Amino acid sequence: MANTEPMTQRVELATVMDRLAVDGLITDYAVAVDDGDWEAYRGLFTSDGRADYRSAGGIEGDAKEVAEWLTQTMELFPMRQHLIVNRQVRFGPLEHDTGDTAQVRADYVNPMRFAGHDGGDTTPDFVCGGRYDFALVRTDSGWRLRSVVVDEKWRRAPQARQEPAAT
């Protein structure tokens, strides 16, 4: 009987390495959006990569088009901080080779600060949360995003400040 332990260990190590690379790509995505680094954002996608932000009031399109839309839209929010948690990663086959694709479902909370406020305690924030569905593919340049779909589940926007009624 052949010893399959070294082969099993290599497969497990490759899976761990892929998991770390995928996790890094998702983190790079959040940092690119939060920092407004739209060149880096575009570089995270495959050449045919797409993003869908329609559930959050945005657009759906190729990564270049969406990056241009984000460039304008995110000017409203100079402070952004994506927190992407509860990442579920599933690897799958591409053309019968195991591990060439990955699906990531992850929850997010995204606090943002509106532009034009002084940053004090009374500055209204916009906070939203939901779930991302990321589809990734392994390329010659490493893992890249094939698609990003946002499913916004909730949001909290500032309410207009009410002045006390005159007596």
Tell me the whole-structure pTM to 2 decimals.
0.84
**pLDDT, tens digit, 9 for 90 and up, residues 38-59:** 999 999 999 999 999 999 999 9
Judged against a pLDDT cut of 90, whether residue 62 lies above it is answered with yes
Instruction: Delimit the domains of the chain by residue range.
Output: 5-156
Class of domain 5-156: alpha beta
| Nearest C-alpha neighbor of 149 from the set 106, 85, 93 | 106
| Nearest C-alpha neighbor of 114 from the set 96, 133, 127 | 127
**pLDDT, tens digit, 9 for 90 and up, residues 14-41:** 889 999 999 999 999 999 999 999 999 9
Query: What value does the CA radius of gyration of the chain take, rounded to a whole number of Å?
Result: 20
Q: Mind spelling out the 3-state secondary structure of 31-63?
A: HHHHHCCHHHHHHCEEEEEEEECHHHCCCEEEH
